[in-house]
Structure 1
């Protein structure tokens, strides 16, 4: 009887619940509004924030940025998917490059019907990459266009590298396209700014960050967070990354405006850019609109006219430019199309005179140039005789 009573007492005792370190850490993330996403005994954190389209960020509303996705006329900024498949994406990593470098924070801003959603995925432990990439890839879909800042050269290659370690358990990488705003900033702002880092470009447009954590400190914060399992430690990195993604939305709108608006001072660069992209018709239209084109603009316009079979329109531009390269083009046309050897010799002599005047610092280039010109001159002289 005594033993039976003892068993009954033990049965009625409340069971002890074991609280693991993961439970404690996950509870802290939930207090911050984070979602705990699990996969195969691993977990990661998803943070989400919603912004109305009429909210202004760095001079433009999110709604204006969304409209630019559909209305941009410049080939560099055009996207061929619905706006909800365009991700303004950035990552934070434990280093710069290499297979030993891990991504511990991926995030993107993405437009929905009536709002912008900002989503971030946090890797709580380096061993949980499977859950991390499983949920990130499932959320973004099978085809996306990334708007990034150096993401084409850095962020996306890093994602592809890390994906190789987990690809047997997660879905394949999506079909992607890129609008890398670093390239646009370099084209438009490099002559003006010493640095075209995202922070420098923001400051140039009047939006310098004051309380932001320097990006190079992010790995240190992450390693300390992994050690102590305290989300407070990584919070400055999350805020820095959040600001980067939202800045991409605003910067996309601003750069679209710079290359498309008539009143901006980037008409010549706009023409060069269209030329480089192979859009000859649009580039020629832009060159025609320039009120005070530089010699570089005139030369590129002339070469484009030549390439599109409009050499008669290019001839006066080559004469106006009056450089070695321009005189060579005129000499070639006089020789091969006009069959005027004397005129070809005159243009070649003018090119030689200019080449001989070049500075000593360019001596080697000038010598190579003059050898080619003298070879042309000798050939023309033989033709004339």
Structure 2
């Protein structure tokens, strides 16, 4: 039967993926595991528990192995760099060794949540001695979750989880399935969590239409997949494997999962290079995003270093960086430094410039003129300029009521001052 016909035959399973699969284990003898010779050729061995089993595949990589643009040795180096850094970040590995980071991914029978969504591969990689050791725990049929989770939890020693959208999907799925068998397996451990999906969205939303891991791999990390099985076919292939036991299709899913996990190591390395100012090829836009991120979490000094490093050739990024720096100077009550930057922004304005930073800079100058300099005429002039720019950008008209209110208040205030001067 062709693979097309097999997949077509299995489509009915996908429609029922929210219903638990009830398949009895046909194996009652430890000496009989279907296609075990083929599994052994792929470094797969069985794990037995009370006459039930799961399968465990193990692959080892040298630290000099290159996955995408980085070797795994460079991953070890960035962990050392985080430990030597004087600033903090949500992705910082400070306080951890490289071996503490646990790169984790799952394959499931569906993208939805709930007890009917079964995890059939628990995959992870970790630095052990001088190698990256990648293990994948495979569910041979839906009735074997106890050996699957027992083998996973008893052999894993980790303190920090690294995933790609695992906070919203992978780990909640693990918790759901664990709840169903928690009386028979070890407790789930407590640990920290790095979710690289949100970091990728922050850093490259300007460059990528979607931040799916395979797209980030190809466009950012230099990872090239060959003959890869699409992830959306994984459930159908697994259902076929449960029925026929032939590992042929599952080996493709295991390779897909393996690449996902290795790419997490490369992605963490690359993001760390950019956040640690080690990426020599970083773009102005990426530098700006790094500066914004550090600003958001209150790491002012490293934020300034990034924002101040954007050169004059990158006009748009330079103006956004100047606005963020001015905002920080205002917080520090360095008003003269802030004013210099606000004026620089409005003086270099063109129709191609981000109008938001220009309008906001004019508003800040208006506030300073009104409240610090007590120069109502200048405040009114800055407000008029902001209104003029606003009219050129219809998409920003939501700001108009605020500006109009400011203009009317300043005009009334100026009129009162002039009237008082007249009577004196």
Same fold judged by TM-score > 0.5? yes
2:341 aligned residue (317, 322, 345)? 317
Residue 261 of structure 1 aligns with which residue? 278
Match of 1:283 in 2: 303
* Residue of structure 2 in register with 1:151 after alignment: 166
The match for 1:166 among 181, 190, 196 is 181
Q: Secondary structure at the match of 1:175?
A: coil
User: Which residue number corresponds to residue 67 of structure 2?
Assistant: 57
Q: For 1:328, which of 346, 363, 366 is the aligned residue?
A: 363
1:288-325 per-residue CA deviation (whole Å, 9 max, x = no partner) reads 22222432221112112222333331111122223221
Alignment of 1:11-50 (within 5 A): 20=28, 23-25=32-34, 27-28=36-37, 29-30=39-40, 32-50=42-60
What's the C-alpha RMSD, in Å, of the aligned pairs? 2.6
Deviation at 1:40, TM superposition (A): 4.4
1:232 to partner: Cα distance: 2.3
Find 2:190's aligned residue among 162, 175, 182.
175
Question: How many Å apart are 1:215 and its aligned residue?
Answer: 0.8
Q: Match of 1:108, SS?
A: strand
Question: 1:306 — aligned with what?
Answer: 330
Give the match for residue 138 of structure 2: 122
Counterparts of 1:138 and 1:368 in 2: how far apart (Å)? 62
Q: 1:17-43 CA deviation, whole Å, 9 max, x = no partner? A: x98477233845456432322334432
Displacement over 6 Å in runs of 4+? none
Q: Does 1:343 align with 2:343?
A: no
Q: Distance in 2 between matches of 1:229 and 1:262?
A: 47
Taking structure 1 as reference, are residues 327 and 119 closer, same or farther at Cα in structure 2, changes over 3 Å only? same
- Look up the match of 1:368: 401
Matched positions, count: 365
Preserved CA contact (<8 Å) 2:35 2:246: no
SS of 2:96's equivalent? coil
Q: Is the 8 A contact 1:302 1:314 kept in 2?
A: yes
Picking from 343, 348, 353, the partner of 2:388 is 353
Return the index of the structure with the highest Cα Rg.
1
Q: 1:198 to 1:346 in 2, by over 3 A?
A: same
Unaligned segments of structure 1, at least 5 residues? 1-17
Instruction: Tell me how far 1:117 sits from its aligned partner.
Output: 0.5
